[in-house]
Amino acid sequence: MAKVPAKKKETPKKALKKAPLKAVVVAKPAKTPAVTAAKPAASKPAVQKPAAPKKSGTYFYAYGKRKTATASVRMYTNGKGVLTINDRTFENYFPLFVDQDRVLSPLRVTNTQKQFDITIKVFGGGVHAQAEAARHGIAKALLEYQADLRSTLKPFGYLTRDSRVKERKKYGLKRARRAPQWQKR
């Protein structure tokens, strides 16, 4: 008598691979006006930005940098001292007093706080680096406005681009200079 080989049981994965694919069509119910009106309007809380009016007129432009943060500064003449950053109020964008003081320091040193309306677009880096980039941009824009302010701003270091950035990681090390722990035995 000859032995008949037993049939192997198929695993569920193999059975799925062999099964032909079938398209499934799901009909969407028609939307009724009553259903759409019944949804709450504020289902997702929206972050409200105060709508800053578009400024027009003559302005002085400068670009400030710090680490990987960059700030594009426009100083409009005949202003009232309004400062907006990324279409938000100054106090809203920089809630910490330290950062607010950093940004306003070139204006305070030159006594020009209430002469300009300033709009700043900052991106990249962290909050503190963005504040220092904004300070650098404001100081450079003040120079565009009046070159005589150089002698006032230069001793405070507001015109110097702080070029300190994070050092790159080297091969064989864990960070830029941190070596793996050495074990004697």
Summarised one tens digit per residue, pLDDT across range 56-95 is 778 999 999 999 999 999 999 988 999 999 999 999 999 9
Q: Measured between alpha carbons, how far is residue 42 from residues 34, 45, 50, 112 in Å?
A: 17, 6, 18, 43
Give the chain's domain count.
1
Residue 124 lies in a domain: yes
Here the CATH number for the domain that contains residue 76 is 3.30.230.10
pLDDT at 16 over 90: no
pLDDT of res. 182: 93
User: Is residue 7, in this structure, part of any structural domain at all?
Assistant: no
Which pLDDT band, with edges at 50, 70 and 90, does 17 fall under? low
Per-residue pLDDT band at 25 (split at 50, 70, 90): low
- Give a yes or no: residue 38 inside a domain: no
User: Cα-flanking dihedrals φ and ψ of residue 159, to 5°?
Assistant: -90, -10
Percent of the chain at pLDDT exceeding 70: 70
In a domain? residue 37: no
- Residue 31 placed within a domain: no
Q: State which residues form the domain around 105.
A: 59-155
pLDDT at residue 153 above 70? yes
pLDDT in tens, 104-149: 999 999 999 999 999 999 999 999 999 999 999 999 999 999 999 9
pLDDT of residue 57: 77
State the pTM of this model: 0.69
Q: 179 and 170 in contact (C-beta within 8 Å)? A: no
Contacts for 13 with CB less than 8 Å, ≥ 6 apart: none
Confidence at 27, pLDDT banded by 50, 70, 90 = low
The stretch 38-44 carries a mean pLDDT of 54
Whether residue 3 lies inside any domain: the answer is no
